[in-house]
Structure 1
Amino acid sequence: MVEAAQPGLLLTLASFALVIGLLVFVHELGHYLAGRAFGVRADVFSIGFGRELFGWTDRRGTRWKVAVLPLGGYVKFAGDMSPASTPNAEWLSLPAEERAQTFQAKKLWQKSIIVLAGPASNFLFAILVFAGFFMAYGVPQTPAVVSQVIPGSAAERFGMLPGDRILSINGKGIDQFEEVADYIRLRPGEMADIRIVRNGDHEVLNVRFDAEEQVDRFGNRFRMGRLGIAPVERVVVEEPVGTVLAKSVTHTFNLVGMMIEGLEQVITGRRAVDELGGPIKIAQFAGQTASLGWEPLIEFMAFISINLGFINLLPVPMLDGGHLLFYAIEAVRRRPVKAKAQELAFLSGLALLVSLMLLVTLNDLSTLGLWEKLANLAG
């Protein structure tokens, strides 16, 4: 494969700012709208951290701003005086009317919805993007039937034949061929029981997937699982809006399942930690995808939006999932976790996130060949 020219630095930075800026806005808008629905006043709505570049204040008193470091954002609700957003003396000193508009004054279920609305907005964004593509181009519904077995592949070695219909892989039901590829690519070198129908009879094939390194048009390398089969002619059908939305929801949460599987593989050592990517890698992929056109870039944004929603739901203090974990504990105990314990947990969560950010940034720099270039210079 002839490698495509890498996009310029300006396109890469502009694409990264567009992707991250829009998705952070979507995420924080979820928090903002949910808070507003429950009567919580927002003091600040920020895209980015640090010094303000520009902004304005609306008639409700909310400061909308864009800050210098575009790696996230936040909504600061009235009364947010500590990371744990717990009532304290300063909050109690507020007039009753002002206190009623603060986040702390809301019921536990209301606070939970406000926190959950951020990740939910990211998932909703992806669902709507996929629905738009399905409406424009149809819904893939290729039958899970083997048309061709690639010579020398795992499929040939373990006895798969043309005409086999795949029913399940490791107990996971398979309805269409696209699901086969999604399942296998995450499992290079792994064993699997594949249940098939052959000439009307049910059989189970015990297969070890091949592991291969694939290289895309920009030279990026990926370790993928491969079975070595081809489908019958790809089938795409038009569906009514209701079915399209249902398919979009299913597709989105299938991708979430793949993310969970990928994270589990890293934790258990089945995948190398250096496969984790960070902001530099996202920027690189954003620029490369943008160079292919608007449609690939929008699809890429949907994938990143799912990642953003998923990561924020992890039960790590400082993330939305950490807040929800404390609310769940409070619901069971009938009283909140002590403020001091929450603040210590949030500091630990911050340390964990900073460490993870450093790790993925080092991975990104390694992928770009920085250490090798420095070694060559030193030599």
Structure 2
Amino acid sequence: MITDILSFVVALSILVFVHELGHFLVAKRAGIRVERFSVGYPPKLISVQWGETEYCISAIPFGGYVKVAGMADVGTDEVTGEPWEFPSKSIWVRMAVIAAGPAMNFLFAFAVFVLMFYAWGMETVVSTSVDPGEDSVAAGAGLRKWDRVVGVDDSPVANVHEFEAALTLTAGQGMWVDVVRDGQIITFLLPPSSEERYGLEYLLSSTVGAVIEGTPAEEVGLQEGDRITSVAGVPVRSWDDMRIEISSHPDETVLLTWIRDSRPMETPITPVAHSIGDSTRGHIGISPYTTVQVGLGEAIRMSAGSVYSSSLLILDFIREIFQKDRYKELGGPIRIAMLAGETAQLGLRTFLSFLALLSVNLAILNLLPIPVLDGGHLTFLTLEAVMRRPLSVRQREVFQQIGLVIILGIMVLVTFNDLQQIVYHRVLEFFQ
């Protein structure tokens, strides 16, 4: 519990600091006076006056704010019309100040992904087994389901990342592909085609990508690249088939067979029992993923893709809340704190990944057109640009009150969901 709380405070403090820093930097750049920059909410613990701005660390760590001159919604003094006040600036400048917070969260997530990919590399599936779609270019060239790609144009291919890189280089101009089929290497010519990946889909075979330390797999000597062929006498080809067989033998010694460098091997192994919900399953400590190092340019490209795909995932979830009643899956501060604690215990890399995803989440949620959020302020400014006059004070107050009701309603819902999940798991534990 202590780890959860501390990890949550650290994560939230970092993300709020980054968000408010965006507002602060653009406001300063635009010549708008920033009276206070606070990490956390009052009462103040530490404050330093530097120029016109008071920098604070406050007692309540769940948030933070910047106090911009002339922004009444954050409790500043009455607007006087001074040129350094927020309302005195053009609509586009004010939009830039508001949008800078979410933009910084996107940039922060991007920077974290770059750091992770460059420092630790990227995870990719080691299996290169493929399934040519019916009537695809690959099928027409002679490839079959479960062919394993081992080379492209005389260059070896050891994982999906390397195969994707080779596909990018050929750019649909055709290529020679070496595959392993029934223990034999066969070469095929794929003709030029605009079909994505020449119609090939990936299959997750029972090939080991990584072996976890201190597990039965390490004890019996399994290595990356080993292709498991049977568990307890049951032939397996896909990762799911293998996983199901291993899961069904917790704490039971079974015979495991595999292929390494074309040589068949076998050994007894005892899957470790793990309780998952109300069932017990066996695990031996292997993963289909391996880690490959990438250069800075590749890390930047992949990070942009990660931010983009994370954004689409969050937007799809928001859409499905209204279309498929997924509101029960919404999590609040309690669930976020639990996830923060869990990822922190799994190591720095996992925690940073969680932090990057949470930063994207914060950016998108802040851009929703709900009054009191940045998206609400941008909506007001858009209306001002269209009507060529700002909303009246009374209109803004009404919309702000509606926004507060919406936010409070969401907070009640997610807190209820969190508590419901906790109670559910406690009841399960009690009856186990």
Unaligned runs of 5+ in 2: 132-143, 150-159, 165-193, 202-239, 241-273, 279-286
| Contact 1:83–1:346, Cα closer than 8 Å, also in 2 | no
Are 1:23 and 2:15 counterparts?
Answer: yes
| Contact 2:370–2:376, Cα closer than 8 Å, also in 1 | yes
Change (3 A) 1:219 1:320: farther
Change (3 A) 1:219 1:126: farther
Q: What is the match of residue 116 of structure 1?
A: 99
Q: What is the match of residue 257 of structure 1?
A: 312
Q: What is the match of residue 80 of structure 1?
A: 71
Change (3 A) 1:13 1:355: same
Residue 336 (structure 2) aligned to one of 278, 282, 293 = 282
Q: What is the match of residue 14 of structure 1?
A: 6
Q: What is the match of residue 387 of structure 2?
A: 333
What SS does the aligned partner of 1:314 have?
A: coil
Q: Provide the C-alpha distance between the structure 2 equivalents of 1:121 and 1:15, rounded to a whole number of angstroms.
A: 21
Residue 36 (structure 2) aligned to one of 41, 44, 47 = 44
Q: Provide the C-alpha distance between the structure 2 equivalents of 1:339 and 1:220, rounded to a whole number of angstroms.
A: 53
Deviation digits for residues 182-207 of structure 1, max 9, x if unmatched? xxxxxxxxxxxxxx98996799xxxx
Q: What is the match of residue 32 of structure 1?
A: 24
Q: How does 1:147-166 map to 2 (within 5 A)?
A: 147=130, 161-163=145-147
What SS does the aligned partner of 2:60 have?
A: strand
Bigger relative contact order, structure 1 or 2 (CA pairs below 8 A, ≥6 apart): 1
| Contact 2:45–2:59, Cα closer than 8 Å, also in 1 | no
Query: Residue 362 of structure 1: CA displacement?
Result: 0.9
Q: What is the match of residue 371 of structure 2?
A: 317
Query: Residue 23 of structure 1: CA displacement?
Result: 0.7
Q: What is the match of residue 45 of structure 2?
A: 54
- 1:134 partner amino acid: F
| Contact 1:316–1:322, Cα closer than 8 Å, also in 2 | yes
| Contact 1:140–1:237, Cα closer than 8 Å, also in 2 | no
Are 1:292 and 2:276 counterparts?
Answer: no
- 1:325 partner amino acid: T
Q: Provide the C-alpha distance between the structure 2 equivalents of 1:100 and 1:250, rounded to a whole number of angstroms.
A: 41
Q: What is the match of residue 225 of structure 2?
A: none
Could you state the TM-score of these two structures normalised by the residue count of structure 1?
0.68
Deviation digits for residues 21-41 of structure 1, max 9, x if unmatched? 111001001101111111111
Q: Provide the C-alpha distance between the structure 1 equivalents of 2:85 and 2:108, rounded to a whole number of angstroms.
A: 28
Q: Provide the C-alpha distance between the structure 1 equivalents of 2:127 and 2:364, rounded to a whole number of angstroms.
A: 29
Residue 238 (structure 1) aligned to one of 294, 306, 317 = 294
Query: Residue 255 of structure 1: CA displacement?
Result: 0.3
How many residue pairs get aligned? The number is 299
| Contact 1:84–1:343, Cα closer than 8 Å, also in 2 | no
Higher Rg: 2
What SS does the aligned partner of 2:32 have?
A: coil
Change (3 A) 1:141 1:103: same
Q: Provide the C-alpha distance between the structure 2 equivalents of 1:176 and 1:338, rounded to a whole number of angstroms.
A: 56
Are 1:304 and 2:296 counterparts?
Answer: no
- What's the RMSD between the two structures over aligned residues? 3.8
What SS does the aligned partner of 1:321 have?
A: helix
Q: Provide the C-alpha distance between the structure 1 equivalents of 2:414 and 2:363, rounded to a whole number of angstroms.
A: 18
Could you state the TM-score of these two structures normalised by the residue count of structure 2?
0.61
Query: Residue 359 of structure 1: CA displacement?
Result: 0.8
Query: Residue 232 of structure 1: CA displacement?
Result: 9.1
| Contact 1:84–1:342, Cα closer than 8 Å, also in 2 | no
- 2:70 partner amino acid: G
Q: What is the match of residue 130 of structure 1?
A: 113
Q: What is the match of residue 103 of structure 1?
A: 86
